[in-house]
Amino acid sequence: MKIGVCVKRVPDTETRPKIASDEKNFDLSDAKFVISPYDEFGIEEALKLKEANGGEVVLISLDSSGDVTVIRNGLAMGADRAIIVEGDGERDPYETAVILSNVLKEENFDIVFFGKQGVGHDYQQVPSILAEIMNLPLISVVVELKIDGDKVEAVREIEGGEEVVEAKLPVLISAQKGLNVPRYPSLRGIMAAKKKPIDKKSPEFTAEKLSWEVEKVELPPPRKAGKIVEGEVEEQVKEIISFLSDEVKII
């Protein structure tokens, strides 16, 4: 089984965002980078499929940073090889999907995993656009997956419940938390990752540009100072009650 996993290098979720001087981008010079956490569920599921059925797990990433550490981490978890499409800066979801579709078509995977979203920008668009471009079924927000021959059965998370979806390979899957518990790379895995191939490609953008542009990014306004009630307990209670009933009107 030939399994692809699209992974994105993103700033660690604990990063405190700083806005770059052009006010359109983030200044990430101090940030620590990781694989987008949802993508890790994709990698884990891919590795489990490979362990059950044999085959190959290939990581694909569109990334212009030149830093391969994050991809190595995925190889250390157990993926066999990686393809990095080196871009020339941030791409919007449509451009990303077009560029990735060229790699996916070339590789001809039986199944391709994504995270349900890439943390940071959180567009949640790439898998859907790709499915459209490639004319393949996409099962999104998957929390359980069974594959038997070319039969696919997936459980999706939906508002207030779950939905069971069936499809046939080839298929695209976007992973949600709960699908599995991603493994840690073992030391032997880390040593082996050093020798695994990382193929670097330049982006091929083969479509009409449909994009939008980021006008401006802003941080949310700083929180206003809280209100401190003082005095005797009874007075404090009265003050809190009048605040809740008169000012915020919730009681």
The residues that touch another protein, with contacts defined as CB under 8 A, are 14, 32, 68-69, 72-73, 76, 184-188, 190-191, 193-194
Task: Give CA separation, 19 vs 24, 81, 129, 219, in Å.
Answer: 8, 34, 28, 8
> Toward another protein, which CB reaches closer, 61 or 140?
61
CB of residue 219 to another protein, shortest distance in Å: 18
> Toward another protein, which CB reaches closer, 49 or 77?
77
Q: Within its chain, how far is the Cα of 197 from the centroid?
A: 23
> Toward another protein, which CB reaches closer, 9 or 91?
9
The answer to whether 215 touches 98, Cβ cutoff 8 Å, is no
Residue 205 half-sphere exposure, CB side, CA atoms within 13 Å? Answer: 14
The answer to whether 144 touches 155, Cβ cutoff 8 Å, is yes
> Toward another protein, which CB reaches closer, 34 or 145?
34
Give CA–CA dist 40/231, Å, rounded.
52
CB of residue 72 to another protein, shortest distance in Å: 6
CB of residue 188 to another protein, shortest distance in Å: 5
Give me the sign of the Cα torsion angle 194, 114, 94, 16.
negative
Give me the sign of the Cα torsion angle 14, 16, 21, 24.
positive
The answer to whether 42 touches 5, Cβ cutoff 8 Å, is yes
> Toward another protein, which CB reaches closer, 76 or 175?
76
CB of residue 183 to another protein, shortest distance in Å: 9
> Toward another protein, which CB reaches closer, 172 or 193?
193
CB of residue 73 to another protein, shortest distance in Å: 6
Task: Give CA separation, 29 vs 65, 179, 217, 225, in Å.
Answer: 11, 33, 17, 30
CB of residue 77 to another protein, shortest distance in Å: 10
